[in-house]
Homo-oligomer: A and B are copies of this chain.
Amino acid sequence: MPRATSHNAKSERRDAILAAAADAFDRLGFAATSMEWLAERAGVAKGTLYLYFPTKEAVFLALYIRELDAWFERVDQALEKLPVDASTRLAGELADTLQQQPRLPPLAAILHTVLERNIGEAALLSFRRHLLTRISTTGAVLETRLSFLAAGDGARLLLRLHALIIGCWHAATPAPIARRVVERPELAPLRLDFSEELENTLVLLLEGWRHSGGGF
């Protein structure tokens, strides 16, 4: 392995690890992924992993952050093109952005219960600050697209959307074993499509917001 001396080379190595993590997450999920697998896949020694990330959770949190940043950008772009107060279309666009980043919802689903539990307090603080900045910025953009949103409502809406993503993903994604069970016609009402459910709920939410005149 060539030594990553320059800032650039280090960044590239970090990227390689995250790429391995992305691959692992898609195939195996967080729990089933071992640091050893990651190391092999990234082409580094196990110890080298810990030069770049303090814990396993930190690796996947970094992955989440990367996905999240990409998503916010995607959202920003989508919002720009949108007319004002087209809340239904807006909901659709948001759902679309998530379909283009299928890794984001399952990562969000373990964010609070797993990822945030074993990174340092410093890393946590940094992540949360970053999150707040992103939410605030995109929240402000959101406020320009929905006239019924008061100042600060944009961020609130995004936070709520975040919760919605987690909840819908959980509700719509049965365990592998549960898949078969839910296929039964009798249980059809319990079968949800993540994207659809999210979009529908979001439409209702926005509609409600519009008619409520704020205060949430």
Contacts and interface: CB of A to CB of B under 8 A. Distances in A.
A7 interface: no
A177 B116 contact: yes
Interface string A109-129: 111110011000100110011
A170 B167 contact: yes
Interface residues of A, number: 59
Contacts of A2: none
B112 A173 contact: yes
Contacts of A98: none
A117 B31 CA distance: 13
A180 interface: yes
A84 interface: no
A182 B132 CA distance: 11
A1 interface: no
Interface string A156-196: 10011011111110111111111011101011011010000
A175 B121 contact: no
Contact of A187 (B132, B173, B204): B132
A26 B80 CA distance: 46
Interface stretch (A36-44, A68-76, A205-213): A205-213
Interface of A: 109-113, 116-117, 121, 124-125, 128-129, 131-132, 135-136, 152, 155-156, 159-160, 162-168, 170-178, 180-182, 184, 186-187, 189-190, 192, 197, 200-201, 203-209, 211-212, 216
